[in-house]
């Protein structure tokens, strides 16, 4: 046997040894659910099941690669490599890359993430009507997404804006051979539900299914599982209803209840011992989550009494809060703790700015997890748009982004002409650019420019499709060819701007190099898939690998653990967030807080400010209403602002005494 049951308690062992039939593991935070999945996979392989027949779905790609790492340690690389591990979206994406044609797409479809979705919606809205004020594109998008998930329509396209928008959005995506994140699931489901030959092939291969973080699955994902798993229902799901924090994205806790109706008579396993946190931390977490109505109570305990109470600190403002955290970290580090073992968890990405500033100032090494901000940088978006068009020339949105970047004289008017022509001819915009009938109607000068652009694109498209072509050198050559760096230099208002952009390009090149070295033979398409699905494997190679304290949102922290945790900004309006209060979703915010608390292993510090600068304006902050729900048995409260003031007074006093002394001395 390649692993030891000694690492598991009785209930965990039960779960690990029940290989056939449905299994439902419902258990609180830190009870070893993820460990059970990992060990269960190892045990199955030990029992002679081939790793190719096992699929395990995780919530993030990061969680997937961590799981693969752990399994590699137990089973070795050869076997671990053969497992199917990833998110629902990644799973569907791979399926669709093979079978998209069955659904009328081409296999080189583009995956649209939020930025591209929004720019498409904006464009449709602008064209569609109207400048209806307060028609928020991202709100519209989330309505579309909800409707898609529920399989509904937003109303008659002739009657409502939403209806028209949804139809145009859907049609245009399809015309561009593009799918958004919901389409990946939707089309994955279609493939399995409506195409028996595909379904049977997949079912024949993936005979054992496991799902982590089941409480955050949505309707489409549940449908996918039903289509994927035939009787005798070899499906094991694990989850914790108290940690469901993605309701805003369509996650549906009722999936837990419905599980039993789709996969009858499951073995139900409860885990109650928490191996992660000390009693003070766990007790505090329990006292909070009890306030959610309609929740099923569960017991959760730890045999680790711990050394430290949970601390609840109030500071004057967000700068003082950041300084306090930095102080405490430095202190702990001096006493021998590792930076890697410390983390700050916050509600909104924006909160990390103050912390970053403070850490930089004090030279505390830090890493920011999850933030996609790198891919939102203009220089990165530009180059990715180029690469995207090379992979899928039908992608009009990406094409529009690059058509005049760098400036080459193809302005908005020409782009609109091309678009109109493409509609008339029912082709893509790129095809329109090549059409002699289109070129006829524009100036000589423009014809030359457009021909040049098309030629460059097609030449590089050919090269990118050479088998085993390394991407980084090709991209480098391409950037030189279109004179992109020269363009950036010209655009930059200050030399620093240019430096920053140059650096962005360089980092993108590094991730291409990383991809080339991993040589998976999936070419340009593979690279783009990884970036749009937020697969951070390549990041691991350079950015994240650096050690340092961890800055991360509460949402992204799910499933992780740290010996030292700080939860700053616990104020009404931040957690619970204002929008959530308005939309009556405080319960989910409470769960978010619960997730945050239960990430801590040994030491937890919760803090809030009296004032906070927002949009350059000092604002009074109220402590989060959740704080009064925390049982104080193990909580130590501390008014840091008052302490600082005292300190000031003390300084004043010493100064005063010194002045007195000086005066007395000089008089004497």
Ligand X SMILES: Nc1ncnc2c1ncn2[C@@H]1O[C@H](COP(=O)(O)OP(=O)(O)OP(=O)(O)O)[C@@H](O)[C@H]1O
Partner DNA sequence: GGGGTGTCGATTTTT
Partner DNA sequence: TCGACACCCC
- Give the nearest distance from C-beta 353 to DNA in angstroms: 9
Residue 372 interface partner, choices DNA, ligand X, none, CB cut-off 5-8 Å depending on type: DNA
Is residue 124 packed enough to be buried (19+ CB in 10 Å), middle (13-18) or exposed (0-12)? buried
Q: Are 310 and 284 in contact (CB under 8 A)?
A: yes
Q: Among 70, 99, 276, 367, which residue sits at the site for ligand X (rule: CB under 6 A)?
A: 276
Active site residues: 33-34, 212-213, 243, 599
Q: Are 341 and 549 in contact (CB under 8 A)?
A: no
**How many CB atoms within 10 Å of residue 580?**
19
**Pick 50 or 304: Cβ nearer ligand X:** 304
Sign of dihedral through CA atoms 83, 84, 86, 88? negative
End-to-end CA distance of the chain: 89
Residue 12 interface partner, choices ligand X, DNA, none, CB cut-off 5-8 Å depending on type: ligand X
- Give the nearest distance from C-beta 659 to DNA in angstroms: 35
**Pick 188 or 596: Cβ nearer ligand X:** 596
What contacts 24+ positions apart, CB below 8 Å, involve 297-301? Answer: 298/26, 298/27, 298/28, 298/242, 298/270, 298/272, 299/272, 300/28, 300/29, 300/31, 300/272, 300/274, 301/272, 301/273, 301/274
**Pick 31 or 624: Cβ nearer ligand X:** 31
The DSSP H or E segment spanning 464 is helix 444-464
Does residue number 211 form part of the binding site for ligand X (CB under 6 A)?
no
Ramachandran area for residue 480 (φ above 0: left; ψ -120 to 50: alpha; else beta):
alpha
Residue 553 interface partner, choices DNA, ligand X, none, CB cut-off 5-8 Å depending on type: DNA
- Give the nearest distance from C-beta 281 to ligand X in angstroms: 12
Residue 279 interface partner, choices DNA, ligand X, none, CB cut-off 5-8 Å depending on type: none
**Alpha carbon distance 504, 534 (integer Å):** 17
Does residue number 341 form part of the binding site for ligand X (CB under 6 A)?
no
**Alpha carbon distance 212, 55 (integer Å):** 11
Q: Among 250, 559, 568, 573, which residue sits at the site for ligand X (rule: CB under 6 A)?
A: 559
Does residue number 301 form part of the binding site for ligand X (CB under 6 A)?
no
Using the contact rule CB under 6 A, the part of the chain among 8-16, 45-53, 376-384, 571-579 near ligand X is 8-16
Does residue number 33 form part of the binding site for ligand X (CB under 6 A)?
yes
Q: Are 321 and 646 in contact (CB under 8 A)?
A: no
- Give the nearest distance from C-beta 510 to ligand X in angstroms: 31
Residue 412 interface partner, choices DNA, ligand X, none, CB cut-off 5-8 Å depending on type: DNA
28 annotated as a binding-site residue: yes
- Give the nearest distance from C-beta 49 to ligand X in angstroms: 22
Q: Among 248, 262, 275, 374, which residue sits at the site for ligand X (rule: CB under 6 A)?
A: 275
SS3 state of residue 550: strand
Does residue number 70 form part of the binding site for ligand X (CB under 6 A)?
no
Q: Are 154 and 165 in contact (CB under 8 A)?
A: yes
Does residue number 56 form part of the binding site for ligand X (CB under 6 A)?
no
Residue 348 interface partner, choices DNA, ligand X, none, CB cut-off 5-8 Å depending on type: DNA
519 annotated as a binding-site residue: no
**Alpha carbon distance 217, 255 (integer Å):** 7
32 annotated as a binding-site residue: yes
DSSP state of 434: H
Does residue number 8 form part of the binding site for ligand X (CB under 6 A)?
yes
The DSSP H or E segment spanning 612 is strand 611-614
63 annotated as a binding-site residue: no
Residue 550, strand partner residues: 343, 367
336 annotated as a binding-site residue: no
31 annotated as a binding-site residue: yes
Residue 88 interface partner, choices DNA, ligand X, none, CB cut-off 5-8 Å depending on type: DNA
Does residue number 32 form part of the binding site for ligand X (CB under 6 A)?
yes
- Give the nearest distance from C-beta 281 to DNA in angstroms: 23
- Give the nearest distance from C-beta 278 to ligand X in angstroms: 13
Q: Are 442 and 421 in contact (CB under 8 A)?
A: no
**Alpha carbon distance 329, 563 (integer Å):** 12
Sort strands 208-211 and 235-239 into parallel, antiparallel or unpaired: parallel
Q: Are 316 and 608 in contact (CB under 8 A)?
A: no
668 annotated as a binding-site residue: no
Using the contact rule CB under 6 A, the part of the chain among 31-39, 485-493, 604-612, 624-632 near ligand X is 31-39
**Pick 306 or 370: Cβ nearer DNA:** 370
Q: Among 16, 23, 31, 154, which residue sits at the site for ligand X (rule: CB under 6 A)?
A: 31
Residue 408 interface partner, choices DNA, ligand X, none, CB cut-off 5-8 Å depending on type: DNA
Alpha helices in 129-195 (DSSP H): 137-150, 161-175, 181-194
Name the site residues for DNA (rule: CB under 7 A): 59-61, 87-90, 113-114, 122, 134, 136, 138, 181, 248-249, 347-350, 370-372, 404, 407-414, 490, 533-534, 553, 555-556, 577, 579-580, 583, 614-616
Using the contact rule CB under 6 A, the part of the chain among 28-36, 291-299, 324-332, 541-549 near ligand X is 28-36
- Give the nearest distance from C-beta 449 to DNA in angstroms: 9
Subset of residues 567 to 606 that bind ligand X, contact rule: CB under 6 A: 598
147 annotated as a binding-site residue: no
Residue 227 interface partner, choices ligand X, DNA, none, CB cut-off 5-8 Å depending on type: none
Is residue 656 packed enough to be buried (19+ CB in 10 Å), middle (13-18) or exposed (0-12)? exposed
Q: Are 406 and 483 in contact (CB under 8 A)?
A: yes
**Alpha carbon distance 636, 422 (integer Å):** 67
- Give the nearest distance from C-beta 220 to DNA in angstroms: 10
Q: Are 528 and 464 in contact (CB under 8 A)?
A: no
Number of chain positions touching ligand X (CB under 6 A): 19
Using the contact rule CB under 6 A, the part of the chain among 5-13, 70-78, 253-261, 493-501 near ligand X is 5-13
**Pick 240 or 396: Cβ nearer ligand X:** 240
Subset of residues 242 to 271 that bind ligand X, contact rule: CB under 6 A: 243
**Pick 31 or 234: Cβ nearer ligand X:** 31
**Alpha carbon distance 377, 396 (integer Å):** 20
Among 57, 104, 50, which residue's Cα sits nearest to residue 80?
50
Within 8 A by CB and 6+ apart from 109, the residues are 96, 100, 177, 178, 179, 392
Q: Among 15, 16, 29, 44, which residue sits at the site for ligand X (rule: CB under 6 A)?
A: 29
List of residues contacting ligand X (CB under 6 A): 7-9, 12, 27, 29-35, 240, 243, 275-276, 559, 561, 598
Enumerate the known binding-site residues for ATP. 27-34
Q: Residues annotated as binding site?
A: 27-34
């Amino acid at each position: 046997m390649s692993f030891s049951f000694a690492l598991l308690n009785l209930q965990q062992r039960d779960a690990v040894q029940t290989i056939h039939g449905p299994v439902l593991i419902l258990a609180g935070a830190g009870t070893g659910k993820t460990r059970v999945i990992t060990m269960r996979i190892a045990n199955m392989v030990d029992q002679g099941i081939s790793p190719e027949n096992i699929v395990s779905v995780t919530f993030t790609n990061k969680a997937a690669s961590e799981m693969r790492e752990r399994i590699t340690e137990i089973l070795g690389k050869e076997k671990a490599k053969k497992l199917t591990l990833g998110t629902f979206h990644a799973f569907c994406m791979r399926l669709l890359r093979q079978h998209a044609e069955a659904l009328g797409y081409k296999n080189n479809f583009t995956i649209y993430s939020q930025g591209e979705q929004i720019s498409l919606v904006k464009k449709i809205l602008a064209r569609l009507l109207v400048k209806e004020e307060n028609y928020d594109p991202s709100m519209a998008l989330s309505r579309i997404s909800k409707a898609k998930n529920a399989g509904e329509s937003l109303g008659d396209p002739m009657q409502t804006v939403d209806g028209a928008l949804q139809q145009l959005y859907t049609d245009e995506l399809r015309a561009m051979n593009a799918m958004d994140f919901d389409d990946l699931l939707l089309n994955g489901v279609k493939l399995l539900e409506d195409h028996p030959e595909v379904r049977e092939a997949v079912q024949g291969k993936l005979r054992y299914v496991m799902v982590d973080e089941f409480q955050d699955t949505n309707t489409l994902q549940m449908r996918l599982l039903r289509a994927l798993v035939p009787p005798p229902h070899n499906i094991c799901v694990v989850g914790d209803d108290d940690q469901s924090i993605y309701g805003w994205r369509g996650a549906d806790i009722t999936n837990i209840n419905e599980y039993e109706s789709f996969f009858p008579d499951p073995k139900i396993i409860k885990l109650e011992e928490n191996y992660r946190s000390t009693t003070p931390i766990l007790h505090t977490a329990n006292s909070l989550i009890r306030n959610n109505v309609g929740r099923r109570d569960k017991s959760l305990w730890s045999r680790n009494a711990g050394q430290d109470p949970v601390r609840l600190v109030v500071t004057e403002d967000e700068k003082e809060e950041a300084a306090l955290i930095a102080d405490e970290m430095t202190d702990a580090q001096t006493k021998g703790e590792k930076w890697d073992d410390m983390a700050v968890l916050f509600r909104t990405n924006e909160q990390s700015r103050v912390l970053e500033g403070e850490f930089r100032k004090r030279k505390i090494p830090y890493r920011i997890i999850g933030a996609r901000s790198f891919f939102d940088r203009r220089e990165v978006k530009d180059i990715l748009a180029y690469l995207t068009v090379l992979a899928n020339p039908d992608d009009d949105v990406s094409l529009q982004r690059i058509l005049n970047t760098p400036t080459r004289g193809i302005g908005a008017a020409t782009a609109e002409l091309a678009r109109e022509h493409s509609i008339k001819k029912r082709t893509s915009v790129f095809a329109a650019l090549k059409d002699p009938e289109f070129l006829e109607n524009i100036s000589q000068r423009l014809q030359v420019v457009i021909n040049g652009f098309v030629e460059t694109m097609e030449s590089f498209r050919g090269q990118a499709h050479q088998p085993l072509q390394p991407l980084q050198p090709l991209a480098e050559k391409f950037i030189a060819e279109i004179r992109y760096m020269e363009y950036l230099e010209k655009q930059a208002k200050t030399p620093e701007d240019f430096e920053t952009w140059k650096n962005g390009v360089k980092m993108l090149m590094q991730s291409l190099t990383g991809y080339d070295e991993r040589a998976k033979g999936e070419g340009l398409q593979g690279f783009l898939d990884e970036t749009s699905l937020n697969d951070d494997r390549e990041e691991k190679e350079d950015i994240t690998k650096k050690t340092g304290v961890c800055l991360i949102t509460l949402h992204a922290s799910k499933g992780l653990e740290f010996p030292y945790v700080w939860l700053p900004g616990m104020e009404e309006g931040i957690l619970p967030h204002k929008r959530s209060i308005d939309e009556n979703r405080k319960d989910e915010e409470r769960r978010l807080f619960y997730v945050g608390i239960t990430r801590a292993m040994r030491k937890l510090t919760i803090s809030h400010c009296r004032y906070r600068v927002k949009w350059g304006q000092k604002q009074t902050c109220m402590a989060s209403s959740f704080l009064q729900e925390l049982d104080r048995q193990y909580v130590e409260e501390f008014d840091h602002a008052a302490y600082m003031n005292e300190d000031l007074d003390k300084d004043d006093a010493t100064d005063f005494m010194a002045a007195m002394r000086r005066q007395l001395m000089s008089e004497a």
